[in-house]
Structure 1
């Protein structure tokens, strides 16, 4: 048995290490969230819904092409098979760039046919422009995975923050100057371009002059299955934009795109950060007990962090769209609520998908994601046929339930965890979220009726008071349900990560620092020479 296999067999799941890395990523993504949140209301007041719809549909197709180019396929395979082999990384990077370039050329050539297919003939120039983004985006994504695998998550997070800040500022300037939808295209180019430059300098990763294809061949089946899973996941996440644009027009697609962008921001911060740390952590584990522990922790952590935020967004969707997006986008409230509830239901799934990829079950993941895509697309199509845009939101939320159940059942067939460890915390968190949703949903229409219709200042008050009410209700209920666990966490000083234990360790570090400073040589003891 090799040293790597020995290491993996002895590896244990360390929630603290994962949480620390995810915390750095989440801090940067949280700052990016604030930037994007500030960017959305500015751009919605400068751009029409049709312009958002064109760029949203174009970027959805480019994401599809990026997946075809191997996004997450070869890079994930290298982590599983050749994590510490620089030659494998360079060879996989070279192949990724070649595929990305070919995909970009195909999109540029077929742009008129693609635009006609999605019902947006005016999107041809935008499609050709964002097609050039594919190699840059895939390169940045590839190097980002390498940075996280090497525990350089600070570099990854800081580069992402700088990229989003610069892109947001210049996109607003371009929109003010009348660039229209091109301002959104510029935003994507700048964000990915800056990440590409910084990551290249940090990783020193360049294409291999002589690719060692022998290293890649054993990874091809895994990479193909992983890419296939990403493709069907694309259909589950991005296809509704194309379906809405085809069935209801560019304006409805714009409303859907803005609502999807707003509801995705919490997940981009929390789930994105956790998943990027969980995948390499899962890949190290061989013990059945440690895998089960990691799976339960992942599902509970994702639900605990994300469900209350998304349910809260659904409850305040009405005033939220009016305040942040403007009154022109008020019809997006229904679709925002439906998308937020859908993402709240599937909150645990991202970590579970990372687990399945890490334990080399990409084939099983492919069929699971294919079933989920069928559920979601069917739900959106049926809902859109009976209720238009709001019906699509209801169908999206309803179709998420069988997807969540199928995911947990599939993971249970891989690793034998205790159902009670999953269901008890999930039930408590979901119950708190449901009570909060009902309370806020009853309060919002009453509060809106107390002021004159059309007053933005009153909507701001309604939004702020609803958030305060929801937060108070949720925290109170959660503290009551988890009171024994909270008290045990506080009272045990010998627990590794309890509050008292952390304070004791912090004091010891301070004392060691003072002692080291007191023992350091000074000018008087060294004769004034250094």
Structure 2
């Protein structure tokens, strides 16, 4: 009964987060298309450099206070006052440090636009530090509707402002203005959802910092991993190429991130609850891997198959150079969904030190790969370096999960075997269809081709998945849950049975 209750809570949470992600995905895609058509690649490049500095500097003091609050065995109101105080102090200090770094940073790239942009990013970061920490109480109880509300309001505010500013000024300030509007909206709504009057207090700060110190180190290296390629591309290839690369990475992250993040967001509080109650954590971890792979692999690989048509259709011909960036990086994002629960597992077990050293190892491998790629082959070299580093990172996460959950690498991949096989069949079928249509001279509008290929690919993936599941003896798994829900629809019952 308790297990069903936990599963139901996680499922409801995933539904709320899924609704939030769906709205975020739709609004985010719309805003990206609008900005891509109104702004130049160089605009995205200069903003990417400003954001890179902000994220790297802020990562050095990231305290993961929300995660620390979730993991507490017993929560007290003093913990929330301490969390708000620590976030306020951190936000103020980081804003000051980033502002001081802005001048030498702008001089290093010989671009005066970076000075006001970087300082604006620092201000946005400070405003975000004021968010209500009491919302974490909902996550501890596996309640996630408030995340949907925060996401929806902030993204609507972002879209409204970027459209207005982009239409009026047609420059990079539209991105900054939208981010500021989204952050302000998020802070205001956080207090409307859970009224809380914070006060400055560090009485329980030690309880939070003892958990988050290694997460701070981990997040620092993560920020370096996520942004070092942009700094390298901007330094060696210029801001126009960086804009193309940044747009490609943005688009590449959309399918897998939006499809899997609602589930991933429930894993840490879910794993933490399972770990506290000493339940079968390895079993839950394996199921989460299978579920995320079944969603993330087709979303990512499918988008990569459509990139050559979708990018110019959605963004315009000036972004054609971003197509290979999207194709290759989307694939590595899709592959990494198999190991995406590993970080949540490590945090739930308090193994943040292990996370840090693993991420540091990935960073030490990634930097020389990226430098060699950018210097030798330009933009394509940067993509190749990121893909190679992504594969290495996936192997490291598989090893970490083996250590923590006692599941061999083979067992982890075996859990996703039907999804892996199905997505390979889907990719082969889509490519065969494209070759056949080219041979017969069949070519329609880009939109029609995108819809046709996406529909056929989805049907082939789902059909292959169900067939392999049947041949596998119809074991309990993600297929069981999905088919149980679908069988409730009278129209589908006869077909599925």
**1:469-526 superposed Cα distances (whole Å, 9 cap, x missing partner):** 3223222221211125796679x9xx9998389969xxxxxxxxxxxxxxxxxxxxxx
Q: Which residue of 1 aligns with 2:316?
A: 326
In the TM superposition, what whole-angstrom CA distance separates every residue of 1:49-91 from its partner, at most 9, and x where no partner exists?
Answer: 000111122223222333334252x322222235521111211
Partner of 1:62: 54
Q: Distance in 2 between matches of 1:496 and 1:272?
A: 19
- Asked if residue 229 in structure 1 is aligned to residue 218 in structure 2, the reply is yes
Q: TM-score, normalised by structure 1?
A: 0.84
CA distance in 2, matches of 1:119, 1:11: 59
- Which whole-Å CA distance do the structure 1 matches of 2:435 and 2:86 have between them? 55
- Once the 2 structures are TM-superposed, how far is the Cα of residue 119 of structure 1 from its aligned partner? 6.0
Alpha-carbon separation, structure 2, partners of 1:236 and 1:188: 22
After TM superposition, give the deviation of residue 168 of structure 1 in Å.
0.7
Match of 1:301 in 2: 291
Q: Which residue of 2 aligns with 1:283?
A: 272
Alignment of 1:56-455 (within 5 A): 56-72=48-64, 74-81=65-72, 83-117=74-108, 120-140=111-131, 142=133, 145-212=136-203, 215-286=204-275, 290-417=280-407, 421-441=411-431, 443-444=433-434
Distance 1:270 1:498, change over 3 A: closer
Distance in 2 separating the partners of 1:142 and 1:251: 39
Instruction: Name the CA distance, whole Å, in 2 between partners of 1:374 and 1:447.
Output: 45
Using a 3 Å threshold, how does the CA distance of structure 1 residues 138 and 63 change in structure 2: closer, same or farther?
Answer: farther
The offset of 1:16, in angstroms, is: 3.4
Can you give the 5+ residue segments of structure 2 that lack an aligned partner in the other structure?
A: 490-497
Structure 1 residues 496 and 173: CA distance shift in structure 2, 3 A: closer
Secondary structure at 1:360 match in 2: coil
What residue number does 2:484 align with?
A: 499
Larger displacement relative to structure 2 (341-350 or 85-94): 341-350
In structure 1, list runs of 5 or more residues that go unmatched. 1-9, 505-530
Measured at CA, do residues 22 and 376 of structure 1 come closer, stay the same or move farther in structure 2, by a change above 3 Å?
A: farther
> What's the TM-score, normalizing by structure 2?
0.89
How far 1:425 moved relative to its partner?
Answer: 3.3
Check the 8 A contact 2:83/2:133 in 1, yes or no.
Answer: no
Distance in 2 (alpha carbons) for counterparts of 1:89 and 1:120: 41
User: Which stretch shows the higher mean deviation, 272-281 or 86-95?
Assistant: 272-281
Query: Are the structure 2 counterparts of residues 77 and 134 from structure 1 closer, same or farther at C-alpha, using a change threshold of 3 Å?
Result: same
Residue 271 of structure 1 contacts residue 350 of structure 1 at CA under 8 Å; is this kept in 2?
no
Contact 1:307/1:433 (<8 A) preserved: yes
C-alpha separation in 1, matches of 2:187 and 2:485: 42
Deviates more, 1:80-89 or 1:220-229: 80-89
* d(CA) in 1 for partners of 2:67, 2:235: 34
Deviation digits for residues 133-155 of structure 1, max 9, x if unmatched? 11222343855544423444112
* Alpha-carbon spacing, 1:62–1:180, altered in 2? closer, same or farther (3 Å): same
Q: Number of residues paired by the alignment? A: 486
Which residue of 1 is the match for residue 22 of structure 2?
30
Matching residue of 1:3: none
Q: Which structure is larger by alpha-carbon Rg, 1 or 2?
A: 1
Q: Which residue of 2 aligns with 1:475?
A: 462
How far has the Cα of 1:248 moved from its partner?
Answer: 1.0
Instruction: Give the conservation status (yes or no) of the 8 Å contact 1:66–1:138.
Output: no
Distance 1:391-1:142 versus aligned 2 partners, 3 A rule: farther
Work out whether residues 148 and 276 of structure 1, in 8 Å CA contact, stay in contact via their aligned partners in 2: no
RMSD of aligned residue pairs (Cα, Å): 3.0
Cα distance in 2 between the residues matched to 1:305 and 1:437 = 15
CA spacing shift, 1:374–1:429, aligned 2, 3 Å: farther
Change (3 A) 1:376 1:451: farther
The alignment status of 1:49 with 2:41, answered yes or no, reads yes
